[in-house]
Structures are given as structure tokens and as C-alpha cells.
């Protein structure tokens, strides 16, 4: 029988990964917004693309758990 703590540990680790991604998203969002206000649109759009990738990764973690990310 698998101890229940393993599932809880995985859940805690998964929540921590999601939390880290949330922090990355917020940091990039702030930088992107500042760049946009400075008229650096291309740089801002590059960060927005990175944000989109992180949001997708976060959604995959929330939906499927800790699965290897694909580069598609």
C-alpha cells in the first residue's frame, strides 16, 4: 500500500511549482507593462509571448499534474 503522504507531498510540490510560475508571470507582466509604457513595444511583446508560455505550462500543471512539457 502506498502511503498517503506521497500524494500529499506531490500535491505540495505541484502547488509550489504553480506558485513559482505565478510569480514569474507577475514579474514578466510588470516588466512587459513598463516596457510598453516606455514605447519598447517589440520587447514588451517578447515578454508577453513568454508569459503566454508560462500560463500554458501552469494550466497543464493544474489540469494534468506534473507531466513533462512538450515543445510544441
- Residue 3 in any domain: the answer is no
In this structure, is residue 43 part of a structural domain?
Answer: yes
**Residue 36 within any structural domain of the chain:** yes
Range of the domain at 54: 9-61
Q: How far apart are CA 47 and CA 32, in angstroms?
A: 6
Q: How many domains does the chain have?
A: 1
Residue 6: what pLDDT?
58
Residue 72 has pLDDT above 50, yes or no: no
Residue 67 pLDDT greater than 90, yes or no: no
For the whole model, what pTM was predicted? 0.76
Does residue 9 surpass a pLDDT of 60? yes
Q: Is residue 1 part of a domain?
A: no
**Burial (CB count within 10 angstroms: exposed 0-12, middle 13-18, buried 19+), residue 47:** buried
**The three cell numbers locating residue 3:** 502511503
Domain assignment present for 20: yes
For residue 61, the model assigns a pLDDT of 92
Is the residue at 44 inside a domain?
A: yes
Amino acid at each position: 500500500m502506498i502511503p498517503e503522504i506521497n500524494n500529499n507531498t506531490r500535491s505540495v510540490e505541484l502547488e509550489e511549482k504553480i506558485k513559482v510560475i505565478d510569480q514569474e508571470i507577475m514579474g514578466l507582466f510588470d516588466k512587459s507593462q513598463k516596457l510598453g509604457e516606455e514605447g519598447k513595444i517589440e520587447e514588451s511583446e517578447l515578454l508577453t509571448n513568454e508569459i503566454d508560455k508560462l500560463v500554458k505550462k501552469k494550466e497543464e500543471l493544474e489540469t494534468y499534474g506534473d507531466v513533462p512539457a512538450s515543445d510544441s
